[in-house]
Structure 1
Amino acid sequence: MSWSLRIRLSVMMFLQYAIWGAWAPVLYPYLTQGLHFTDVQASWIFAALWLACILSPWTGGQIADRWVPTQVFLGVLHLAGGAVMLGCAKQHEFASMMLLMALYALLYAPTLALTNSLAFHHLKGASEREFGWVRVWGTIGWIVAGLGLTLWRRLAVGGEFPVERMFDCLMLTGVVSLAMGGFCFLLPHTPPQQEGADPLAFRRAFELLKDRNFLAFMLIAFVVTTELQFYYLPTPEFLMSLGVQGANVSATMAVAQVAEIVAMALFLPLLLPKIGIRRCLAIGVIAWPLRYVVFAFGHALGVGPVIASLTLHGIGYTFFFVVSQIYVDKVAPPDIRASAQSLLALVTLGIGNFLGTQFTGLIMKHFRDPDSVNWTGVFLVPCALTVACAIAFLLFFKEPEKKLEASEEPA
């Protein structure tokens, strides 16, 4: 792979996830304290992205597979999304904010799968060796966006940043989206596939589920994703219950992202060619129950082991979700790769995350008393389910050997 191509794909990933990282970790307090939305209203605004991941990736994959060059479609989506997000920054009522965030989510959600399919298209045979080096820049972009916003707020005020002015995260998202939209037209040309009798590529992507190996993978990926929400939602409150100051929670959780960068940049490129997809996925599946068991007994173990266990999140994310994208690219026929990536996004980013958020909320409610939370009970639930996933994976998933067949005329 040439350095020109490597740089362009890396910048693409950097901007793609900087957009997400600019608003996702910090929008909630602005909604609840700055705009005085209820928790339920704020939760639905966040759920818009997961719902969009259920609805829109099919359309995105279909268009990119059949009609429009991927880089052009990405550019249009990000330019439109940037304009919508700048409009969100000016909203003060729930109805208008919800409407615009839903529209933005429908524009952004397809780009998550399309950036992967574009990268895989140009990495070709080197994808298993090179994808980790390219994808790691997405995590770096997420971190840089958050650190840049924090630095801006400190320089702008010099003290506690007023919650009413935290709409700046939406402004930053809009600006980075516009930059990404312009940059997409500098990406290498990625034409739609012309061959194939079936004009509905997403229907053929569904046919991949007829393969037992692929079906087992998708079912396990779905359950694992639902349990991932037990990291994103309760962890800040859990860390504070262990004595971590609220102002330091974000920096503490960044341990996981640093581990993710190391895993993607160093471990994955070295291990994937040597041990294969199955064993790499197994490392990812096993990492989560190990972390959840540390969380479950965190008050007995102390804050040190809990913080150290955050590295398992970065390892688990890299070796399961990033390798999952590589696996799907490897087994999907060339003319439905974008739609196959959209199927993965539907199952994980969409349905898995949305249902996982609801499930996590119910478990938190069950184990919460007026004055305390039974953290052992909370985290033993995802621990048990991810252990079951690990056992099922080792029993039913085999190392892929060749591309799967998707019939030309789906039933």
Structure 2
Amino acid sequence: MSIKNRLTMMSFLQFFVWGAWLITIGTYCFNAKGWTGAQFGAIFSTLGLSSLFMPAITGIIADKWLNAEKLYGILHIFYGIILLYVPKVNDPDTLYYVIFGAMICYMPTISLSNSIAYTILKNNKFDVVKVFPPIRVWGTVGFIVAMWITNIFSSPTPPQIVKELGLSVGNTLSGFTGSPIYANQFYIAAVMAIVLGIYSFTLPKCPPQKTISNESSFIEQLGLTAFKLFGSYKMALFFIFSMFLGGALQLTNMYGDTFLNDFAKIPEYKNSFVVEYSTIIMSISQISETLFILAIPFFLKRFGIKQVMLFSMIAWVLRFGLFAYGDPAGGLWMIILSCIVYGMAFDFFNISGSLFVETTTDPKIRSSAQGLFMMMTNGFGAYLGSKISGYVIDNYYTQGDVKDWHNIWLSFTIYSLIIAIAFAIMFKHKHDPKALENITH
């Protein structure tokens, strides 16, 4: 198998083992377990919490002591083993620590997979800028395939899993026939994670580069020198807005599939395609991602970084607003369109934000600045978005086991609209096509 094909397989599996459960764990917690929004919010917040420190720690380990591909494999094997235990947990407080352990293992592998790919491609004289993007796209494909497999093969529930969940054999969870809320999602992810972990040991060696000296301060080793960028008003604003947008991203990951599944509680929608194949519907969002990535160079050249980031924020307003008024019948087009605009909402800010950091920071701290950008979005933003949204939904939009999804999505819409307006007014950045020319071509 060629180097590019081997890395493509790694990228595919990297996001397959996440996509198998990330979008559907909310439905599992709410409908299979009957837990509250606050309990689920705490569980989901472990993604952000682990992102605050694990990528930096594993980066140091791979840089100084252990081959990156070996560390990557070890982390995925432990991740898979932990996921195998998830279906046996019936207490939300226990599951918090179990998922936290899984995220401690998984979240740093995202950046490690990129580093491994870069190293192997460079060592084999490939043009990284040209070759890597098509490899990375297969990661999104892996995420989509995992969602489809989870949706299709999680029902009917095997008797053994039904028994473990305390349900009567022959019944589906909460009456949601065909919905991807079964424990199978964790088994699928676990098995493939262990396979990926073993596979990674067959990849070309990526030995420590030892770019961090023993004399470096602890702050420098953790890549925290970029925090001095908060001394700049413009950069501080950018990172704060990054945190707010990171919170918005978690809202759709957390509640999108649960929202579609809950239409089963309305008799006229109970047997609709949206309820039966909610995860497949949600996968349109990831398909949209791959398409909008291709449009980014045009938009950046035509409108500039600030406008592209603003387009992303407007897309978040549409994402939530369309969900608020969509339904499986006459409003199905709104649900579909919401999934389509997700590609713009997600890609435009993440990529344009990364380019903003690349073109406005000192090369000496550029890597640290990129790490800070990810920390604010996937770390602080994800953590706060998960915790706060769970509390708000429990206390203001839930009666018994019924959630007021219309007003939940409207509140998220207003949140996104306020961010977009504030960003348009407060964030000043002049479009400089020359600054982007060497990056986007």
- TM-score bracket, normalised by the shorter chain, equals 0.7 to 0.9
* Structure 1 position 260, deviation (Å): 1.2
Question: What SS does the aligned partner of 1:310 have?
Answer: helix
Distance 1:385 1:47, change over 3 A: closer
Distance 1:161 1:267, change over 3 A: farther
- The answer to whether 1:387 aligns with 2:417 is yes
Pairing of 1:5-404 with structure 2 (within 5 A): 6-31=4-29, 41-91=39-89, 97-119=95-117, 132-153=133-154, 163=173, 166-185=182-201, 186=203, 189=206, 191-192=208-209, 194=211, 198-199=216-217, 200-201=220-221, 202-236=223-257, 238-239=259-260, 240=263, 243=269, 245-264=274-293, 266-268=294-296, 277-298=305-326, 302-325=331-354, 327-328=356-357, 339-364=368-393, 365-368=395-398, 377-394=407-424, 395-398=427-430
| Residue-by-residue CA offset, 1:341-364 (whole Å, 9 max, x unaligned) | 443332112221221123323443
| Residue-by-residue CA offset, 1:95-128 (whole Å, 9 max, x unaligned) | 6544433222211122233334555667789666
Q: Distance in 2 between matches of 1:68 and 1:247?
A: 46
Distance 1:387 1:94, change over 3 A: closer
Question: What SS does the aligned partner of 1:25 have?
Answer: coil
* Structure 1 position 222, deviation (Å): 0.7
Unaligned runs of 5+ in 2: 160-168, 175-180, 437-441
* Structure 1 position 259, deviation (Å): 1.0
Question: Structure 1 counterpart of 2:340, which letter?
Answer: T
Distance 1:327 1:23, change over 3 A: same
Q: Distance in 2 between matches of 1:86 and 1:304?
A: 37
* Structure 1 position 41, deviation (Å): 4.5
Question: Structure 2 counterpart of 1:54, which letter?
Answer: L
Distance 1:282 1:30, change over 3 A: closer
| Residue-by-residue CA offset, 1:175-233 (whole Å, 9 max, x unaligned) | 22222223334156364352676343322232344454443321111111222344334
Unaligned runs of 5+ in 1: 404-411
Question: Structure 2 counterpart of 1:167, which letter?
Answer: A
Preserved CA contact (<8 Å) 1:32 1:38: yes
Q: Distance in 1 between matches of 2:35 and 2:398?
A: 23
Preserved CA contact (<8 Å) 1:129 1:272: no
Preserved CA contact (<8 Å) 2:26 2:258: no
Q: Distance in 2 between matches of 1:67 and 1:338?
A: 20
* Structure 1 position 162, deviation (Å): 5.0
Question: What SS does the aligned partner of 2:334 have?
Answer: helix
Question: Structure 1 counterpart of 2:428, which letter?
Answer: F
Q: Which moved more, 1:200-209 or 1:172-181?
A: 200-209
Question: Structure 2 counterpart of 1:171, which letter?
Answer: Y
Percent of paired sites with the same residue: 27
Q: Distance in 1 between matches of 2:352 and 2:40?
A: 32
TM-score for both structures, normalised by structure 2: 0.73
Q: Distance in 2 between matches of 1:276 and 1:292?
A: 25
Preserved CA contact (<8 Å) 1:113 1:342: no
How many corresponding residue pairs?
400
Q: Distance in 2 between matches of 1:187 and 1:330?
A: 32
Q: Distance in 1 between matches of 2:287 and 2:418?
A: 28
Q: Which moved more, 1:374-383 or 1:99-108?
A: 374-383
Preserved CA contact (<8 Å) 2:119 2:206: no
Preserved CA contact (<8 Å) 1:6 1:134: yes
Q: Which moved more, 1:254-263 or 1:163-172?
A: 163-172
Q: Distance in 1 between matches of 2:366 and 2:60?
A: 10
Q: Distance in 2 between matches of 1:327 and 1:122?
A: 27
Preserved CA contact (<8 Å) 1:64 1:338: no
Q: Distance in 2 between matches of 1:49 and 1:399?
A: 34
Q: Which moved more, 1:239-248 or 1:314-323?
A: 239-248
Q: Distance in 2 between matches of 1:178 and 1:370?
A: 39
| Residue-by-residue CA offset, 1:334-384 (whole Å, 9 max, x unaligned) | 786665444333211222122112332344342456798666654444334
Distance 1:269 1:161, change over 3 A: farther
Q: Which moved more, 1:371-380 or 1:5-14?
A: 371-380
1:406 is aligned to none
Q: Which moved more, 1:108-117 or 1:59-68?
A: 59-68
